[in-house]
Structure 1
Amino acid sequence: MSRGNHTTKNGFTLVGFSDVPELQYFLFSVFLSVFFMSLSAHMFLIVLYRFSKNLHTPMYFFLANFSFLEICYISTVTPKMLVNLLSGDKSITFYGCAVQTYCFLLLASTECYILAAMAYDRYNAICHPLLYNITVNREACIKLIVGSWSIGLMIAIIQTFLTFSLPFCGPNKINHFYCDIPPIMALACTDTKFNEIITFVLVLCVVVGAFLLIMVSYIQITWTIVKHHSIRGIRKAFSTCTSHLIVVIIFYGSASVMYLRPKSSYGTDGDKFISLMYTIIAPLLNPFIYSLRNNDVKVAVKKLMPKIKIRTIIFYKN
């Protein structure tokens, strides 16, 4: 990575929410609570999947992998943001910033296609139930997960290399709470049109492409339900699909707004709010909408809780 003569030596400064110093402790409390709630919910789902035989299906295999991804995803951004809210030193090294950007891009890109894989699973379960066990077998599930991570890895390598190969001559202040592509490119002291084009193309392929796959799946699901199900079934299906689509729109919509813009609009305070939607809000909502409202999960919880109580009693007696 080529280095500029100022920024790369001293690293960067994450401005974060320093423009509202009177709210630092309040924001810290809110984001810390959201962080632990997200971690707890996703960890609980992984444990539930591991110890509940009735959840050993393709749908919950995807959800367990999705929860693991979300734990890594929120852990990439939130801890540094929390430290910066309480610390006067908001600096991050050049390579530390590059690593955070790489991890974020890897996980965010992978999440796009895991969400698409989950929609594909539901499409086959509802639209082609007789062929479901053949189409979405264990081998197919593993291939979809590996493929999603492979796409994320490729996107992360390309974007991180291109971004941190730019010369940065100062100022070194990133008007954001984590190292993200648009605000970093705004600091480059050279023409970034090539990088902007590559970013635009990759976002179209990853974010928009995955979003269209999800929308096509849900349209097919809705059409199948309307044709073959009762009024009660239609209401239930629409309720579930609507909940899922709300999270999908929050994640994909905010990400698209953030990345499909010209360089001239980078670095505004509004970017922080947009980024909060897909870095903090969506990971919090996902476990409750995708899993904890399902009847299968409720049954698994009822079966697992007595076992946990018995083991806890035995532990304390010993």
Structure 2
Amino acid sequence: MNRMFDKHKESRRRHICIHTPIIIPVWSQVRMVEDDLMYSTFLEVYENHCARNNREADLPITKFKEQLNQAISGQISPEAVIDLRLQAYNDMTKNFVTDSILSQYMYKTLLSGNHMWAFKKQFAIQLALSSFMSFMLQIGGRSPNKILFAKNTGKIFQTDFHPAYDANGMVEFNEPVPFRLTRNLQAFFSHFGVEGLIVSAMCAAAQAVVSPKQSQHLWHHLAMFFRDELLSWSWRRPLGMPLTPVVGGGNLNPVDFKQKVTTNVDHVIDRINGIAPQYVSEEEENAVDPPQSVQRGVTDLVEAALTPRNLCMMDPTWHPWF
């Protein structure tokens, strides 16, 4: 994908490049990853704030669960559960977790104003690419402890970054938010950083990989990716499932296996096409009233990621209030 970004005008001028540290496969479930002393996780930022203010880091999780006791016991209707979660979420944001924790940490870590400007720009682009990959491959579970960032360069690396699959081998994603873009990130980048850097970088990345000259390359690389993923998934299927003719040692029928790979790839391409800016003629643009922004697909995703009603439905250990 980085080679695709280099060949596209809009992504090249923004210096868009996915950070890829050195990774050495040791075993099927074990990898050695290049480490750096400057790496820190979002969770470490939050725990550092709690330690400095003599607060219990898990207190918001405990309070949130206490306020949802009525929902757990089944005393209220499903419709009222959402309102109860939203009220509990709002209480956490007002009384326990402010939206300036990440900003304070960054300004104390990076003392130079000029360095902060460059760091914030690089950090925003890296977050945009991570968000784009999360949406593209429908990867969830982006809790703060799984997102690492370099305090000197702003580059981002995510652990456990792989899709989940349902019983039919299709990518499964049940989260109400498309990616992690929470209050503290929004406050650090400000409205201009979110609308300017993050949205434009995601649009440029989507447009680069589905351009007519490169879309076929992406399709084949995704097919290889899902082939390996589904082969590994077939080995992990429950023992009680019926066996069929094997593919590479798994228990998948060859025709069915190819169909699963193709379907997953097509779904990924459709998601990218749904947010990539499309060039329209002047006649088509004038026919739409009011005129539609070419970034509306990504803007809708960002709005969904920031909406409290969606965030309150996330698991408490995801720290949606942070």
Q: TM-score range by the shorter chain?
A: under 0.3
Q: TM (normalized to structure 1)?
A: 0.28
Structure with the bigger percentage of strand: 2
Q: TM (normalized to structure 2)?
A: 0.28
Structure with the bigger percentage of helix: 1
Relative contact order, CA 8 A, sep 6+: which one is greater?
1
